[in-house]
Amino acid sequence: MSHRFLTSIRLQWRKRFGVLPLRDSLVPIGEWFGSPLGQLLVEREQALIDEQIHNVFGYHLLQLSVAKHLDLTQASRISHRFALHPQTADQPFVAGQADYNHLPLPANSIDLVLLHHVLDYSQSPHHVLREAASVLISQGHLVVVGFNPWSIFGVWRWLARFVSRAPQWRHQSLRLGRVLDWLALLDFEPIAIKQGFYSPPCYQPNSIKYLQWMERWGKRLALPWGGFYMIVARKDSLSFTPLKPQWQGYAGLRGWGVTKILGRATRDKEPQVQCNAKK
């Protein structure tokens, strides 16, 4: 009886506060990133992203974001930059429609993948991370941007979930250490870890301007409670192409005899020795 009660409570909690499917939450989430608070968040994220991807070279760059109107890769030197999104978009940067859980790309084909809050709003973030890792080439780079639950922004998100049903507040609580553990299991080595947005999530421009000192001191001291974190990791797994050995026409080494066996070798019977005794 107690097990059923706990299961019922758990289901009710997920229904009220859990992460919604992306197909039901992408539109309001994209609109929130276009609000003053969302634009301020993207502005501070963009500054850190530009610093890290500017010196990453390659041929193909893929962006996966919950906001289809954002192009966060303009500072990259990679010529072929494109994005995929679960919904149709009229943005030229969005090359096509795709499910983040099943990327329609061949393995080992992308040099740089940017995940912009995709893990936060996914119901299976670990699976999405594995998909992104599979399309990366060996020594390719992965940039993960996510919300930090241990921050002023994270506390605001917990309070907002109890008074609002807005999808932008119903995201995963992925700690930085947890994402780093997932990356280690996928053979990724962290290169850089940055954090930003140390001020409270205010909507008023005057308040935002007044609280700029918190952002400056947070970056200067590298405090661990920024509103978002950014991880730059390199894929260290090596890809091998198996080669089938060609034994046909093998001449062998001088001095070594090579016998071609046509069938199963059988042991001959012991020869019978006849002795003729002299009479």
User: CATH no. for residue 126?
Assistant: 3.40.50.150
For residue 124, pLDDT beyond 90: yes
Q: Which residue has the tokens 């192009």?
A: 71
Q: What is the pLDDT of residue 277?
A: 47
Domain encompassing residue 53: 28-235
Residue 16, in any domain of the structure = no
CA dist., res. 24 & res. 170, Å (int): 12
Q: What is the pLDDT of residue 261?
A: 45
At residue 278 the predicted structure's pLDDT band, cuts being 50, 70 and 90, is very low
Residue 112, in any domain of the structure = yes
245/9: higher pLDDT: 9
pLDDT in tens, 204-234: 767 777 778 888 888 888 888 899 999 999 9
CA angle 13, 149, 195 (to 5 degrees): 155
Phi/psi for 241 (5° steps) reads -110, 110
CA angle 124, 45, 200 (to 5 degrees): 90
The residue among 111, 30, 121 whose CA lies nearest residue 63 is 111
Q: What is the pLDDT of residue 52?
A: 95
At residue 163 the predicted structure's pLDDT band, cuts being 50, 70 and 90, is confident
266/185: higher pLDDT: 185
Whether the CB-CB separation of 33 and 39 falls below 8 Å is answered with yes
Q: What is the pLDDT of residue 145?
A: 98
Residue 110, in any domain of the structure = yes
Residue 22, in any domain of the structure = no
Q: Which helix (H) or strand (E) holds 95?
A: strand 94-97
Residue 243, in any domain of the structure = no
Q: Determine what percent of the chain is predicted with pLDDT higher than 90.
A: 53
- Identify the weakest region by mean pLDDT among 20-34, 94-108, 155-169, 181-195: 155-169
Residue 248, in any domain of the structure = no
Residue 260, in any domain of the structure = no
DSSP letter assigned to residue 122: -
Whether the CB-CB separation of 239 and 164 falls below 8 Å is answered with no
Residue 259, in any domain of the structure = no
For residue 88, pLDDT beyond 90: no
Q: Determine what percent of the chain is predicted with pLDDT higher than 70.
A: 78
165/140: higher pLDDT: 140
Q: Global pTM?
A: 0.80
Whether the CB-CB separation of 170 and 161 falls below 8 Å is answered with yes
Compute the mean pLDDT over every residue in the chain, rounded to the nearest whole number: 84
- Please give the tally of structural domains in the chain: 1
